[in-house]
Amino acid sequence: MAKNSQVIKREEVVIRFSGDSGDGMQLTGTLFSDTAALSGNDLSTFPDYPAEIRAPQGTVGGVSGFQIHMGHSVINTPGDYTDVLVAMNPAAVKANARWVKPGGIIIFDKDNFTEKNIEKAGYKSDPVIEEKLDSFNVIDAPISTMVKEVLKDFGLDPKSVLRTKNMFALGMVYWLFDRKLKYTEQYFDKKFVKKPEIAQANKVALRAGYYYAETIEALNPVIIIEPAPIQKGTYRNVCGNAATAWGLLAAAERAGLRTFIGSYPITPATGILEEMAARKDLGVKSFQAEDEIAGICTAIGASFAGYLAVTSTSGPGMALKSEAIGLAVMTELPLVIINVQRAGPSTGLPTKTEQSDLMQALFGRNGECPVVVIAASTPSDCFNFAFEAAKIALEHMTPVLLLTDSYLANSSEPWRIPVVKDLPEIKPPFADINEKPFLPYKRNCETLARSWAIPGTPGLEHRIGGLEKTMKGNVSYIPENHEMMVNFRAEKVAKVADRIPDLKVYGEESGDLLVVGWGGSRGYLITAVNELQAEGHKVSLANFNYIFPLPKNVAEVFSRFKKIVVAELNLGQFADYLRIKHQEFTYRQINKVQGIPFTISEIKEKCVKILEEK
């Protein structure tokens, strides 16, 4: 930072990198967020991918974005509106101009604002005029020209040269926020260890952007975000999909088991399969199946064989897996099913987020077919609830359905890496070879779980399959036996409520309004509730992670508030579920189905209206 630069301190700031899907915005945002984390800031990110694999270049449909919210204090969301927008082409301006705060900074590559690109983005002439950006600090930097100039003697082809323009833009933002370049330069050295000329070209472009920003007065003052006070420990940035995979690996270690994942690749769940497939060193067996049905059926087979068995998917894949989930319920084998929700129905918006698979998770099977349903709330939270899903599945001998979503899967935040030996023990109910006679469907009195008999163990031979069985494992068509077994399976899942924690209230234990949410909307809801409380409103939050069964104290919590509003990214599925389970209360709703998360401002606005209702 130059000595004559002005400096201001900010508590928090939101930056968004945006451009064509080939402009490297996801990498740019990731590198900036890694540097922010290594600088000690708390942060939350939100990658935004185009739905089409090869959308027409320069169009709004092909815009890729990455938003980072970093701060000196606790950060719960990627932020509503941005302080700084980096737009690599006119389409990026078109897609993001309405999300820039009044008076915010907009940096764009003026070399890409050609007549052709302006027309592709849907503008008539000048995007700055048409978007009425004259009140913003607009910096039209000749980024493409500059990287061509600084790399002219590197002997690289024109495409390789232009691939570094995102690093030039990143260098400008590093200058603006007084960030060190060394972490990103270390990344180049590691990434391009076999291509040092590419590593050096990216370093030169990064520094060129940094020094260019230093020379233009428009980027003064420099903005300083002090490190956040955080608990001591070893941290890393983690996205929800990676955290989910690691939670399962930790659970397998605590249970003394090997892990098997059988999955078919589907956006946005594929990252879980990829992360686990890379861990052969930890004994993971992974199978990329030819379809969703094969994925879950191989996982059921692995569970029968004594593995911690996992299958991952998104909403359309859940539909295909439903029959096999029924098989896992009938055989009473432990299985973790992960649904990374996306906007539907059908293909819907495959790269966008939604919470619209709840009813499918609860009821999307034939017959009386209960499974445990839980939901994660933050990217790092995915570790905890993947671990919890495995623990419940193994100890209660039942399938467990873990709901995350596209927002959680791809977003990242700093995560304090736990010590695995400090995590809870997991004790699967293995069959006792000394117990005679062996009854495969004899129940544990406490949990109603049957014992887990590993095939090949002498004396533990038994029948298994989708037909109803007796306690001895014989196929049975006796009506009374079927009803008894159906009741046992339902009671077994209901008994999980005995071990889950009570519903927690964020804020006062009673008041005028209780905001109710579940899963991945917690960060937005808790931020909105905190701001409403600061403004003098008697508002609290209850966010659910345990969906089926529900915590035992739900009715007691709800009874302490005058009004209840349920906020979710669907048309009211959790609200309808609560009406079934706790019909003694009235539920208002805040719903959104746009493929994007809530904004804090819209939650607050609707809560205030509800508070004002007579």
Task: Tell me, yes or no, whether 543 lies in a domain.
Answer: yes
Identify any residues that bridge with 69 across adjacent strands, giving them in sequence order. 14, 44
Task: Tell me, yes or no, whether 426 lies in a domain.
Answer: no
Token pair in block for residue 118: 């302006």
pLDDT level of residue 614 (50, 70, 90 thresholds): confident
Tell how strand 42-48 and strand 63-71 pair up. antiparallel
Residue with tokens 């879950």: 296
Sequence-ordered list of residues with C-beta below 8 angstroms from that of 186, at least 6 positions apart, any chain: none
Mark whether 215 and 242 lie in a shared domain. Answer: no
Q: Write the pLDDT tens digit of every residue in 275-296.
A: 999 999 999 999 999 999 999 9
In degrees and rounded to multiples of 5, residue 400 shows phi and psi of -125, 130
The pLDDT score that the predictor gives to residue 189 is 96
Token pair in block for residue 400: 């467990």
* Average pLDDT score over residue span 386-415: 97
* Average pLDDT score over residue span 26-43: 95
Q: Which domain holds residue 549?
A: 511-612
Token pair in block for residue 437: 């006679």
Mark whether 22 and 114 lie in a shared domain. Answer: yes
Task: Tell me, yes or no, whether 308 lies in a domain.
Answer: yes
Residue 117 to residue 115: CA distance in whole angstroms: 6
H-type helices in 121-181, by residue range? 127-130, 143-150, 158-162, 165-176
Tell how strand 137-141 and strand 100-109 pair up. parallel
Which DSSP symbol is given to 402?
E
Q: Are 303 and 253 in contact (CB under 8 A)?
A: no
Handedness of CA 560, 564, 566, 571 (dihedral sign): positive
Token pair in block for residue 410: 């791809």
Task: Tell me, yes or no, whether 489 lies in a domain.
Answer: no
Sequence-ordered list of residues with C-beta below 8 angstroms from that of 134, at least 6 positions apart, any chain: 128
Residue with tokens 């009425």: 132
Q: Which of 175, 203, 224 delimits the end of a domain?
A: 224
Identify any residues that bridge with 109 across adjacent strands, giving them in sequence order. 141
Work out the mean pLDDT of the chain and round it to a whole number: 95
Q: What is the CATH number of the domain that holds 30?
A: 3.40.920.10
Task: Tell me, yes or no, whether 482 lies in a domain.
Answer: no
Q: Write the pLDDT tens digit of every residue in 521-566.
A: 999 999 999 999 999 999 999 999 999 999 999 999 999 999 999 9
Q: Are 598 and 575 in contact (CB under 8 A)?
A: no
Mark whether 410 and 544 lie in a shared domain. Answer: no
Residue 178 to residue 364: CA distance in whole angstroms: 52
Residue 597 to residue 468: CA distance in whole angstroms: 43
Mark whether 147 and 295 lie in a shared domain. Answer: no
Percent of the chain whose predicted confidence (pLDDT) is above 90 = 93
Mark whether 530 and 587 lie in a shared domain. Answer: yes
H-type helices in 136-280, by residue range? 143-150, 158-162, 165-176, 182-191, 196-215, 240-255, 270-277
Report pTM.
0.94
Residue 428 to residue 241: CA distance in whole angstroms: 25
Q: What is the CATH number of the domain that holds 569?
A: 3.40.50.920
Mark whether 361 and 298 lie in a shared domain. Answer: yes
Beta strands in 267-391 (DSSP E): 285-288, 308-313, 335-341, 372-375
Q: Are 373 and 338 in contact (CB under 8 A)?
A: no
Mark whether 276 and 405 lie in a shared domain. Answer: yes
Mark whether 246 and 286 lie in a shared domain. Answer: yes
Token pair in block for residue 515: 């905001």
- Nearest by Cα to 304 from 446, 463, 434: 463
Mark whether 115 and 261 lie in a shared domain. Answer: no
Predicted confidence (pLDDT) at residue 219 exceeds the cutoff of 90: no
Q: Which of 385, 404, 420 delimits the end of a domain?
A: 420
Mark whether 280 and 220 lie in a shared domain. Answer: no
Token pair in block for residue 282: 């930890």
Task: Tell me, yes or no, whether 252 lies in a domain.
Answer: yes
Residue 170 to residue 167: CA distance in whole angstroms: 5
Identify any residues that bridge with 85 across adjacent strands, giving them in sequence order. 16, 106
Token pair in block for residue 156: 């690289």
pLDDT level of residue 233 (50, 70, 90 thresholds): confident
Mark whether 188 and 249 lie in a shared domain. Answer: no
Q: Which of 366, 389, 420 delimits the end of a domain?
A: 420
Predicted confidence (pLDDT) at residue 53 exceeds the cutoff of 80: no
The pLDDT score that the predictor gives to residue 477 is 96
Residue 506 to residue 532: CA distance in whole angstroms: 12
Q: Write the pLDDT tens digit of every residue in 572-588.
A: 999 999 999 999 999 99
- Rounded to whole angstroms, the maximal C-alpha distance in the chain is 88
Sequence-ordered list of residues with C-beta below 8 angstroms from that of 217, at least 6 positions apart, any chain: none
* Average pLDDT score over residue span 263-273: 97
Predicted confidence (pLDDT) at residue 1 exceeds the cutoff of 90: no
Q: Based on the number of CB atoms within 10 Å of its own CB, is 227 exposed (0-12), middle (13-18) or buried (19 or more)?
A: exposed
The CA-to-CA distance between both ends of the chain, in Å, stands at 56
Measured CA angle at 569 (ends 563, 575), to 5 deg: 40
Q: Are 543 and 522 in contact (CB under 8 A)?
A: yes
Sequence-ordered list of residues with C-beta below 8 angstroms from that of 132, at least 6 positions apart, any chain: none
pLDDT level of residue 2 (50, 70, 90 thresholds): low
Q: Are 82 and 99 in contact (CB under 8 A)?
A: yes
Which DSSP symbol is given to 512?
E
Q: Write the pLDDT tens digit of every residue in 471-505.
A: 999 999 999 999 999 999 999 999 999 999 999 99
Sheet strand arrangement including 546-548: 285-288, 259-263, 308-313, 335-341, 399-405, 372-375, 546-548
Helix (H, G, I), strand (E, B) or coil at 44: strand
Mark whether 299 and 393 lie in a shared domain. Answer: yes
Q: What is the CATH number of the domain that holds 378?
A: 3.40.50.970
Task: Tell me, yes or no, whether 372 lies in a domain.
Answer: yes
Total length of the chain: 614
Task: Tell me, yes or no, whether 593 lies in a domain.
Answer: yes
Q: Are 377 and 545 in contact (CB under 8 A)?
A: yes
Measured CA angle at 431 (ends 429, 433), to 5 deg: 150
Number of structural domains, the chain? Answer: 3
The pLDDT score that the predictor gives to residue 289 is 98
